[in-house]
Chains A and B, each alone.
Chain A
Amino acid sequence: AQKVTQAQTEISVVEKEDVTLDCVYETRDTTYYLFWYKQPPSGELVFLIRRNSFDEQNEISGRYSWNFQKSTSSFNFTITASQVVDSAVYFCALSQKTTDSWGKLQFGAGTQVVVTP
């Protein structure tokens, strides 16, 4: 069975502080995919990153960075120099891929990030 754990329910920071969101996953599959999505108050889900299980390279995209460590089954997300517009719920998610198709996304509980001026 697949499981995604986001232990942090809410994180509050002051603008320009860095914030790290934790994500720990469980799966028996050797081939799987990890995702991060942002959900602002409007409700739509915004795709941030996808990482497959064979690619442990960390990635940086602007103020966002991701640390994937298979040894600890973690895929953590850091926002550097946070801004008020970063306030949202962030979801970590996991899926598997078979030969023919993509499986369902298993979401973590989400972490609410509140950035105050």
Chain B
Amino acid sequence: GAVVSQHPSRVICKSGTSVKIECRSLDFQATTMFWYRQFPKKSLMLMATSNEGSKATYEQGVEKDKFLINHASLTLSTLTVTSAHPEDSSFYICSANRDGGYTFGSGTRLTVV
């Protein structure tokens, strides 16, 4: 079945630094990927839709300059949290659609100290 690989699974970074999260579709081409953020005991909130070869579409209230999304190939989308602060600490998860099914990465737990 469709597999989406997300790395790293956990990352701890210092305040002010940037962190890159990768999401790869391993056995299929994903023209569209989705990035979600999840706070503890909360639901998944869509941050942006990543489209291969074009700019990402951000949801209202999401700072595009803070959360940089690059979808340079049909199998790779990256989310970079720039100048991270403690309030950016969260669980980030990507998803790709294949034939109507949404496959999710295993998520990245980001802790900013």
Residues in A lying within 8 Å of B, measured CB to CB: 33, 35, 37, 42-45, 47, 50, 91, 93, 95, 97, 101-102, 104-110, 112
Contact = CB atoms under 8 A, between A and B. Distances in A.
Interface of B: 31-32, 34, 41-46, 49, 91, 93, 95, 97, 100-107, 109
A107 B44 contact: yes
Contacts, number: 53
23 contacts: A35-B102, A42-B106, A43-B91, A43-B109, A44-B104, A44-B105, A45-B93, A45-B95, A47-B104, A50-B100, A93-B102, A97-B100, A101-B31, A101-B32, A102-B97, A102-B102, A104-B34, A104-B46, A104-B49, A105-B46, A107-B45, A109-B42, A109-B43
Given A43-B91, A97-B100, A91 B107 contact: no
Nearest to A10: B41
Nearest to A37: B104
- Secondary structure at the A interface, as helix, strand, loop or mixed, is strand
A53 to B, nearest CB: 12
